[in-house]
Amino acid sequence: MKWLLLLALLGSLASASGFSTVVIDAGHGGHDRGGISGQRVGEKDLTLDVARRLRDILQSNGLHTVMTRVDDTFIPLPQRSAIANAQRDAIFVSIHFNSAFRSSANGFETFYYNPTASGIAARVQAGLMQLEPVENRGVKRRAYYVLRKTRIPAVLAECGFLTNRNEAALCMQAGHRQELASAIAKAIEASR
């Protein structure tokens, strides 16, 4: 009887980490530009660009992908979570860029809420930190709406500060955005 319980437990653990679909959420969109007021480099277009690049990499590696938006449209947060929750054997990855009134603020940080996503969040953060010698702001548990309301494992990556002169300049380069997408894709693939 104990063995049966153990086997059942192992089975549930295996299915929690195995996934075939990645829901990719490009932060903001439409009238919601993201960032802070007066920010020169806008957030919503860069999140969409990285999300598209991430989609292309994951698809070429055989993963099924679902985008919460594919163009410059405002998608309310409940709709983003609903799209995620309609998927089976899936994880949710939200792409954002950071902002701060202190222009020296820099670096990467990755958020999760449900503990099932802590491993994926750690791998995403580690992958991003390999790109640039910037501040490691760490992996943090936060009750952000899309993380709290999404029942599949969900992470939110902050891919650098657009209010930081150096990081904004990097993020304006397509090659850097491809590196961001590639680092996140590798972390996702290592989490399967």
Provide the pairing of β-strand 108-112 with 154-161.
antiparallel
Question: Strand order of the sheet with strand 136-141?
Answer: 64-67, 21-26, 90-98, 154-161, 108-112, 136-141
Q: What are the backbone angles phi and psi of residue 162, rounded to the nearest 5°? A: -75, -10
Q: Between 19 and 49, whose beta carbon lies closer to Zn ion?
A: 49
Contacts of residue 43, defined as CB under 8 A and 6 or more positions apart, other chains included, come to 27, 28, 33, 34, 35, 96, 97, 99, 162
Q: For Zn ion, which is the closer residue by CB, 27 or 127?
A: 27
Q: Choose between 80 and 96: whose C-beta lies nearer to Zn ion.
A: 96
Q: According to CB under 5 A, which residues from 26 to 55 bind Zn ion?
A: 27, 34
How many amino acids of this chain bind Zn ion (CB under 5 A)? 3
Q: Considering the complex, what minimum distance in angstroms separates the CB of residue 174 from Zn ion?
A: 20
Q: Residue 135 or residue 189: which is nearer to Zn ion going by CB?
A: 135
Q: How far is the CB of 41 from Zn ion (least distance, A)?
A: 13
Nearest residue to Zn ion on Cβ basis: 96
Smallest distance, Å, CB 13 to Zn ion? 32
What is d(CA 20, CA 7) in angstroms, rounded to the nearest whole number?
22
Q: Is the dihedral of CA 84, 87, 91, 97 positive or negative?
A: negative
- To Zn ion, the closest distance from the beta carbon of 21 in angstroms equals 23
User: Least CB distance from residue 187 to Zn ion, whole Å?
Assistant: 19
Give, as ranges, the residues between 72 and 111 that touch Zn ion (CB under 5 A). 96
**Residue numbers at the binding site for Zn ion (CB under 5 A):** 27, 34, 96
